């Protein structure tokens, strides 16, 4: 590993004494571990100039604070569901005529997108999510967000629906599900064939905060490519597995689609503006500290009120926008079932709670419903 890293970094030129010490420390640590934190002092290396070439950017653009996790490593450890758990959930779904499903980040972990609060989640890697206030008031924060998003977008876009998305779509096709509300912004439900209410919006759409114009995220991606030609070249190198690629460093994918990048490179990133009015562009997602649009809240509430039961899948229900929906369901007399690894904010409101992987439970549940039999 050390030799590979040294070979990758060699084009940056001769190592200063400080760099050599860093490399020696990296060599000692990497013999037994994939913990790249040992080399993070490279952020202060004097050999990397502010006017770095694309190869330099590609070699140093990442924080080196983590590695890309295999989807299975993103899913928290959990014992398999018991026959009793499956039996309870099967009866719950069968008895419902208008089942509403509320999904969270745990539904997408098996697609390679981390959640926030599990042991393997983003919060446990030191990730601090962007707030609405920070995004709006700080140019530097917007540069940081869009730079990370630019690098991570293609990988985020390439994510495929997991077993949870696919099973829920099949249950919709068979009229077992009345509607889906998702807290996720990745549109994997759409890729699986569903059309859920996106409670927190989606990264696939960008909104102008001045005139309200909506454009597809890929359009903004192309604009950023035009405005940041050096970044574009660096990203191409990363995608080809060249210097600084996720093979040698490790890209840290975030739940909202961005990737961790060194702050020194964010400052040189040029941000696009609205073509119609020149206003500020923002992904059409609800950042922390922002409010869910009232029309979306009303649509979600109407779906809950029109349903006869609520099934929470892969969500800790910690954010108030989601918890209010579960509480509304309970107030309306709807039975609530929760399938999630670990505690949730709504555990006391649930009549059924199963702690297991949704990607393991739902395919088995689908099979049981198809056969119309229950395990003993």
Say if CB 272 and CB 125 are below 8 A apart: no
d(CA 153, CA 328): 35
Quick one: tokens of 200? 């927190």
Helices 139-157 and 217-227 meet at what angle, rounded to 10? 120
Pairing of strands 197-198, 179-182: parallel
d(CA 78, CA 81): 9
d(CA 326, CA 344): 11
Number of helices (H), then strands (E), in the chain: 15, 9
Chain CA centroid to CA 310, Å: 24
Give 231's contacts (C-beta < 8 A, 6+ positions apart). 57, 147, 150, 151, 224, 225, 269
* R_g of the chain, CA atoms, integer Å: 23
Give 307's contacts (C-beta < 8 A, 6+ positions apart). 96, 98, 99, 100, 178, 179, 329, 334
d(CA 97, CA 140): 50
Which of 200, 204, 273, 374 is an active site residue? 200
Chain CA centroid to CA 336, Å: 26
Catalytic residue check, 200: yes
Say if CB 101 and CB 311 are below 8 A apart: yes
d(CA 376, CA 370): 17
Q: In b/e form, how buried is each residue of 114-141, taking b as 16+ CB within 10 angstroms? A: bbbbbeebbeeeebeebeeebbeeeeeb
Which residues carry out catalysis? 200
């Amino acid at each position: 590993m050390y030799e590979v890293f040294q070979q990758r970094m060699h084009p940056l030129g001769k190592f200063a004494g400080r760099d050599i010490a860093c490399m020696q420390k990296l060599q000692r640590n990497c013999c037994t571990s994939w913990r790249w934190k040992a080399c993070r002092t490279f952020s202060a290396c004097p050999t990397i100039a502010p006017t770095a070439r694309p190869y330099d950017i590609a070699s140093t653009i990442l924080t080196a604070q983590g590695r890309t996790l295999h989807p299975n490593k993103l899913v928290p450890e959990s014992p398999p569901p018991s026959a009793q758990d499956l039996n309870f959930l099967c009866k719950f779904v069968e008895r419902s005529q208008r089942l509403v499903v509320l999904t969270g980040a745990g539904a997408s972990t098996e697609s390679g997108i981390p959640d926030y609060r599990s042991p393997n989640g983003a919060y446990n890697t030191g990730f601090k999510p962007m707030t609405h206030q920070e995004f709006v008031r700080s140019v530097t924060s917007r540069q940081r967000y869009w730079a990370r998003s630019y690098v991570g977008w293609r990988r985020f876009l390439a994510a495929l629906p997991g077993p949870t998305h696919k099973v829920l779509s099949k249950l919709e096709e068979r009229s077992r599900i009345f509607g889906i509300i998702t807290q996720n912004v990745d549109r994997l439900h759409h890729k699986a064939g569903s059309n859920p209410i996106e409670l927190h919006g989606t990264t696939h759409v960008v909104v102008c905060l001045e005139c309200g114009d909506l454009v597809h995220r890929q359009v903004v991606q192309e604009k950023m490519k035009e405005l940041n030609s050096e970044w574009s070249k660096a990203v191409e190198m990363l995608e080809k597995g060249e210097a600084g690629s996720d093979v040698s460093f490790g890209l840290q994918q975030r739940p909202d689609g961005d990737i961790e990048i060194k702050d020194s490179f964010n400052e040189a990133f040029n941000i696009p503006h609205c073509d119609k009015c020149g206003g500020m562009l923002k992904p059409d997602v609800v950042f922390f500290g922002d409010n869910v649009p009232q029309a979306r809240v009303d649509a979600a509430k109407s779906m809950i009120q029109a349903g006869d039961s609520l099934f929470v899948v892969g969500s800790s229900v910690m954010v108030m926008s989601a918890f209010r929906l579960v509480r509304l369901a309970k107030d309306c007399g709807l039975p609530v079932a929760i399938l999630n690894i670990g505690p949730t904010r709504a555990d006391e409101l649930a009549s059924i709670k199963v702690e297991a992987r949704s990607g393991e439970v739902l395919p088995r549940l689908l099979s049981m419903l198809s056969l119309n039999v229950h395990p003993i």
